[in-house]
Amino acid sequence: MTDHREHSGEPEGFVGRSMPRVEDDRLVRGAGRFVADLHVADALEVAFLRSTYAHARIVRLDTSAARAMPGVVAVYEPSDVVDRIKPLVNAEEMRVPPGIAELGPINKVQPAPILAGDEVSYVGQPVIMVIAESRYLAEDAIELIDIDYEELPAVVDLQEAAAPGAPLVLCGEEDNIGVHVRHGKGDAAKAIADAPVVVHETFSTQRYVCAPIETRGLLAQKDPFSGGLTVWSTTQTPHRVRDHIAESIGLRVDDVRVQSVDVGGGFGQKGILIVEELLIPFAAHDLVRPVRWIADRYENLTADAHAREQIHHITVAADNEGHLVAVHDRILVNLGARNMVGLVVPYNALCHLLGPYHVDNVDIETTGVLTNTTFTSPYRGAGRPEATFAMERAIDTVAAALGMEPAEVRRRNLIGPEQMPYRTGMLDRRGLPQEYDSGDYPEMLERAVAMIDLPAVREKQSLPGVDGRLIGVGFAMYLEMTGLGPFEGARVDVTPSGRVRLYTGAPSQGQGHRTVFAQILADALGVDITDVDVVAGDTATIPYGVGTIASRALVTAGNATRQAGELLRQRILDAAADAMESSAADLELTGGMISVVGSPTKSMSLAELIRAVPKLIGGDGSDGLSETSYFQPPNYATASGVHAVVVAVDPETGRVEIVDYVVVHEAGRIVNPMIADAQVVGGVGQGIGGILCEHMVYDGNGQPVTSTFADYAMPLASMVPDIRLDEIVCPSPTNPMGVKGLGEGGAVGPPAAVANAVEDALRRAGHADVTIRTGPLTPSRVLDLVAPQS
């Protein structure tokens, strides 16, 4: 059950309403158009020969039988592309802002070879690309390739890879360190030395895969007229993909068009570029044939980005009343075989570790370490769930040391609403002073404690259980600096049919942009929502864009849409003033009709206006009804949340059941409550999967073990209960709409909250020494936790 919001009356416009989604009708009919659904005549299909070794040299390669196979159109070996496609660097993610540069970070640029040259550095790395008349035939041809490897020492374990003298993940590098930065404030060492309560623990997050149900894919076609390339893609960042394709294969940016069509979930995995996204357009360009590649699930799980694996050696010091005085953390982040996204995840973990708490003395060092495993990317939360797991587990450890209620320890350390905007004294990801713009953390916590009914749970724990299951309660608090810049744009046009069309660079992977942006534009303009069409993620329709990552689309594209809508509204009124021989100040636009204020009979529709505009005499040369506007957020909009969960642990089977789950969150003004709630709940579902079952496992030789959905355990409906939600609203002062991003937040809290609850259940049942240091809390791991120590 969702607890209903306290509405302060019905909103006047579309913004603030739970409008049904524009997207749904075609999707429930099976009429969506995902990349794999696009049929282009004579399209060729691709299969890759991928490395079967974690680290090896390729000593022999013979593709002659594959090339000779009927149905095979082309075979590309590393030597065929090395001089024709530039190696891949996710340049935007690799950037180090000046303020961060002053911290003296390490951020090694390690371009990814398009096809592995002499050296392969993880299982799944593409070595040969085969292009054939069908995927079946392409895979047949892969079987005909002879390849011999000479194995090199591989290192898979994160701690081992970070140790001095570890085997080198990449030949030619000095060590396995890809990223390093240390940042803090105050004097953590002294504060820890002086504090009466000090806890030191290691809390780790295991390796996950984003695993959207639609894998990554793309279809590229050379335009028979212009000669340019059109690429239909699952990407979250179409403009970046466009720029990279053009740069790496030597085309003008203007000659590459990238369109994200219907996309089946992204979660970060589709937010960074991988070499396949350059190879497919290259092949289409080279062969002058349409070429399509859709990753299969094996490729998705083993050869597309992994995420989350971090180790936190964390020390937290407190006074005897539970006030935190110092946080010291040594973070190791598993980057995989290359530094693909630089500081993004390591620094996100660093600058979100403190969360909603005031701490004077801080020393955090974060190190991105290479291992002979698949490269990693941000995944929904991007460093925050991992940092939150460490910090929130540490707070429970402090509470245990003091014999205090964990929620009370939290309460005593929260930054208050009266302190907003709050400067942490640290640098944010842009290298600027980190400032939380708005929020009310104590209020959220109070509501969560009340909703989960903490006293009732404690009382229940003191009574003998009915079925032997152990009850536990856990909390987690976090915040998320959303609305990542530098910009997003919106172009709004009145179309020849009198409808309104919005073009923006931020596509949807399921978040409902066609509905939400239409709500915003309809209000800004004064038209009905059914008169608005949204085209998101087509680079031919707006020249610049960033994309849908980092909980940024609503803040950046939403505000750009509103700005462009307001500009267009004025333009419409000015044009109508000419057409209606009136003054723009006397006109209004409502429900798609322009009328003279006070005499509604004198009116014209947008369709009539757009037909009249080019025919007006004496125009100023800019009469087209179109406006483009870019929004550049001045600061992050900081969203926040509290998760509270009650679990029941079966000590016989080790099974953890989530009995009750409460989220109180704050994400500024809400445009579509139905969609916003569902974004939170969806994130919680992913987070529950993460803490209860998901784990991308490698064996000691670097072979991926969980390479199918039979092995990589995804959360099922029966694992995720109905989530109870509440929300407070602290409009963000960083943007005119007062909105914040909330796409990621739901996924940040569950690992910490559930682990805290399970540990609470076990400890109160007499397993006083149990400490949960990592996930997933599968039945066998829970049984291990409660097994008598040998």
Site for another protein in 425-444 (CB under 8 A): none
In angstroms, give the least distance from the CB of 92 to another protein.
24
Distances (CA, A) of 87 to 74, 81, 84: 21, 10, 10
Cα distance between residue 548 and residue 554, in whole Å = 9
41 forms part of the interface with another protein (CB under 8 A): no
574 neighbors 584 (Cβ within 8 angstroms): yes
131 forms part of the interface with another protein (CB under 8 A): no
Binding part of the chain for another protein, among 23-31, 99-107, 429-437, 637-645 by CB under 8 A, reads: 23-31
In angstroms, give the least distance from the CB of 610 to another protein.
30
514 neighbors 483 (Cβ within 8 angstroms): no
74 forms part of the interface with another protein (CB under 8 A): no
| Contact pick of 3, 31, 68, 109 for another protein (by CB under 8 A) | 31
Binding part of the chain for another protein, among 34-42, 79-87, 530-538, 618-626 by CB under 8 A, reads: 34-42
Cα distance between residue 660 and residue 582, in whole Å = 61
In angstroms, give the least distance from the CB of 23 to another protein.
7
Could you list the beta-strand ranges (E) of 84-173.
106-107, 119-120, 126-132, 146-151
- The secondary structure element, H or E, covering residue 351 is helix 344-352
Between the CA atoms of 613, 619, 622 and 624, what dihedral angle is there, to the nearest 10 degrees? Answer: 0
Cα distance between residue 426 and residue 99, in whole Å = 11
709 forms part of the interface with another protein (CB under 8 A): yes
3-state SS, residue 438: coil
Helix, strand, coil content of the chain in percent (nearest 5): 30, 25, 40
Q: Which residue(s) pair with 60 in the sheet?
A: 148
| Contact pick of 467, 581, 620, 769 for another protein (by CB under 8 A) | 467
Between the CA atoms of 689, 691, 694 and 697, what dihedral angle is there, to the nearest 10 degrees? Answer: 170
| Contact pick of 124, 641, 683, 690 for another protein (by CB under 8 A) | 683
Cα distance between residue 53 and residue 604, in whole Å = 69
33 forms part of the interface with another protein (CB under 8 A): yes
105 forms part of the interface with another protein (CB under 8 A): no
263 forms part of the interface with another protein (CB under 8 A): yes
Instruction: Look at residues 624, 497, 631, 613 and name the one whose alpha carbon lies nearest to residue 556.
Output: 631
Q: How many residues bind another protein (CB under 8 A)?
A: 76
Length of the chain: 790
| Contact pick of 681, 742, 752, 765 for another protein (by CB under 8 A) | 681
- Residue 200 or 460 with smaller CB distance to another protein: 460
Binding part of the chain for another protein, among 112-120, 154-162, 399-407, 670-678 by CB under 8 A, reads: 670-678
252 forms part of the interface with another protein (CB under 8 A): no
Q: List Cβ neighbours of 577 (8 Å cut-off, separation of 6 or more).
A: 583, 584, 586, 587
198-217 positions binding another protein, by CB under 8 A: 211-215
- Residue 114 or 506 with smaller CB distance to another protein: 506
Residues 626-665: x/- map of binding to another protein (CB under 8 A)? Answer: ----------------------x--------x-x------
728-767 positions binding another protein, by CB under 8 A: 746
136 forms part of the interface with another protein (CB under 8 A): yes
264-293 positions binding another protein, by CB under 8 A: 264-265, 267
In angstroms, give the least distance from the CB of 19 to another protein.
11
Cα distance between residue 260 and residue 453, in whole Å = 45
Distances (CA, A) of 218 to 347, 384, 391, 542, 620: 31, 30, 40, 21, 43
- Residue 264 or 322 with smaller CB distance to another protein: 264
84 forms part of the interface with another protein (CB under 8 A): no
- Residue 355 or 682 with smaller CB distance to another protein: 682
In angstroms, give the least distance from the CB of 665 to another protein.
14
459 forms part of the interface with another protein (CB under 8 A): no
483 forms part of the interface with another protein (CB under 8 A): no
